[in-house]
């Protein structure tokens, strides 16, 4: 029996309304009102300044928000903006170095690429190129407008593993690594060039952890371990690999490169035919972006912006490329970007939660989920989220975290049990509890959203 068309339409409308009502009732179990209550009451949030925005990726509608238009400290969420600039200006081919050949001479200079001789992500493109050349090698120290550190960085962070100096031609991630050899009771150093610069000493005040330190403008290191050292102590964490930045200079760079290549490197002034240089590329773009996001590598983030700036000028400049990014890629933002560096180490950076969710929406549309989720840390699986936000069978959070003292951020994508993709930005500034307490409360709130949406 064939129903009248008006009857079919009526039944269909009733069915749709019924489904919507059931879904709405399900979502109401964790309503916007309850989300906002948790943002005030969960441990770690009580006296903190908590910004939050939750958006449906399909229709762009806001599900819940708190202080979405307020400027807050984003920490390493800044790297999401660096990713966007890198993808748009650098694309998939990353410049490894540039050069000019004249008679029996090869003049080369840096592009800012941080992969050169990196111990974990060693891009051999530039190394094999220079190693195989029969010409005499000349290095031009291309100018860089930036200081070694970004504006608003902590002045006493120079000895931190996370605070390698920016440079025109990074080498060995601009850091040195010392390994405590428990059999020989000595230290091994990489690159070995720095071995004579290390002094091993015992420290009676150390109990469970060694340390390495240097003077700010010197590359003389002190590796200290307990004076009553027992290399078999259970739980002793100083049988260690300790990585520390070195103080970068052109002289140090050429010395390291010469030592590695076993070739003489001579300094020269800017070539007159600079504009006709050839560029050597590497295709490791996603390796670069993935390491920056998953390991929250600050040097990679800074160098991505410097590389992008070098496409239009002989002088590398973070300020110039940030300004270009703001005017060309973020023209219609409701909130001005207060953006100072690539990594988020700067205390001067300020973004609003809605600015970050807008960016995440752009990335989702332009990159697609497969590539984007491969680049980001995955809850319970990879990077800085390896120990947090784990799903039962697969990740449900793909996001970038960030932390400075008393500030924690988490922004990215949430897969609900119904298969919806929600975009969120969580910024918790000025909390007085431990960061773990804040992370536990964020995880509790996101778990509820996952279950009821």
Confidence of residue 418 (pLDDT cuts 50, 70, 90): very high
- The answer to whether the peptide bond before residue 154 is cis (omega within 30 degrees of 0) is no
pLDDT at 233 over 50: no
| Rounded Cα–Cα distance for residues 97 and 113 (Å) | 8
The lowest-confidence range among 96-110, 174-188, 347-361 is: 174-188
- State residue 208's pLDDT score: 56
Contacts of 18 (CB under 8 A, 6+ apart): none
CA dist., res. 323 & res. 308, Å (int): 12
Distance CA 268, CA 347 (A): 37
Q: What is the spatial distance between Cα 186 and Cα 128, in angstroms, rounded to a whole number?
A: 32
Distance CA 361, CA 74 (A): 17
The mean of the pLDDT values for the chain is 90
Supply the pLDDT for residue 151.
95
Region 70-95: mean pLDDT is 96
Whose tokens are 């703001």? That residue is: 326
Give the number of other Cβ atoms within 10 Å of residue 142's Cβ.
20
Distances (CA, A) of 412 to 64, 66, 211, 295: 15, 17, 35, 16
How many angstroms separate the CA atoms of 53 and 368, rounded?
Answer: 21
Domain 32-86+305-452 fold is: Beta-lactamase (3.40.710)
At 367, the pLDDT band (50, 70, 90 cuts) reads very high
User: Which region among 218-232, 240-254, 321-335 has the lowest average model confidence (pLDDT)?
Assistant: 218-232
Give residue 81's pLDDT.
Answer: 98
Nearest to residue 76, comparing CAs of 374, 303, 384?
384
Asked if residue 397 has pLDDT above 60, the reply is yes
Q: How high is the pLDDT of residue 227?
A: 61
pLDDT top residue among 235 and 63: 63
Q: What is the pLDDT of residues 297-333, one digit of tens each?
A: 999 999 999 999 999 899 999 999 999 999 999 998 8
Outline which parts of the chain fall under CATH 3.40.710.10. 32-86+305-452
């Amino acid at each position: 029996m064939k129903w009248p068309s008006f009857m079919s339409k009526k039944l269909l409308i009733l069915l749709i309304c019924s489904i919507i009502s059931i879904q709405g009732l399900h979502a109401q179990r964790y309503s916007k009102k309850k989300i906002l209550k948790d943002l005030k009451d969960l441990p770690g949030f009580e006296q903190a300044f908590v910004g939050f925005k939750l958006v449906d990726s399909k229709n762009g509608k806001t599900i819940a928000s708190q202080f979405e238009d307020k400027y807050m400290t984003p920490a390493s969420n800044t790297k999401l903006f660096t990713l966007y600039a890198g993808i748009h200006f650098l694309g998939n081919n990353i410049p490894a170095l540039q050069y000019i050949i004249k008679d029996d001479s090869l003049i080369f200079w840096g592009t800012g690429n941080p992969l050169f001789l990196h111990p974990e992500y060693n891009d051999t493109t530039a190394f094999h190129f220079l190693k195989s050349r029969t010409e005499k090698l000349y290095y031009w120290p291309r100018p860089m407008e930036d200081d070694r550190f970004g504006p608003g960085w902590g002045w006493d962070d120079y000895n931190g593993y996370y605070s390698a100096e920016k440079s025109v031609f990074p080498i060995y991630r601009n850091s040195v690594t010392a390994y405590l050899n428990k059999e020989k009771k000595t230290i091994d150093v990489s690159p070995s060039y720095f071995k004579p610069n290390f002094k091993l000493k015992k420290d009676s005040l150390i109990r469970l952890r060694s340390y390495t330190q240097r003077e700010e403008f010197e590359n003389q290191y002190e590796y200290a371990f307990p004076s009553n050292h027992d290399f078999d102590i259970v739980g002793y964490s100083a049988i260690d690999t300790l990585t520390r930045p070195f103080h970068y200079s052109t002289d140090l760079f050429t010395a390291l490169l010469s030592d590695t290549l076993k070739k003489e490197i001579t300094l020269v002034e800017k070539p007159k035919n600079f504009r006709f240089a050839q560029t050597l590329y590497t295709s490791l773009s996603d390796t670069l972006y993935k390491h920056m996001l998953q390991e929250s590598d600050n040097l990679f983030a800074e160098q991505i912006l410097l590389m992008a700036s070098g496409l239009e000028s002989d002088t590398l400049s973070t300020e110039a490329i940030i300004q270009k990014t703001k005017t060309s890629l973020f023209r219609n933002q409701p909130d001005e970007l207060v953006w100072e560096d690539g990594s988020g180490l700067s205390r001067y950076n300020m973004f609003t939660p809605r600015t970050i969710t807008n960016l995440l929406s752009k990335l989702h549309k332009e990159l697609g989920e497969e590539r984007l989720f491969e680049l980001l840390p995955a809850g319970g699986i990879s990077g800085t989220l390896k120990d947090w936000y784990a799903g039962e069978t697969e990740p449900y959070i793909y996001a970038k975290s960030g932390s400075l003292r008393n500030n924690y951020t988490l922004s990215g994508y949430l897969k609900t049990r119904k298969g919806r993709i929600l975009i969120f930005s969580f910024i918790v500034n000025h909390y007085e509890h431990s960061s773990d307490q804040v992370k536990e409360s964020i995880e509790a709130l996101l778990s509820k959203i996952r279950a009821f949406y």
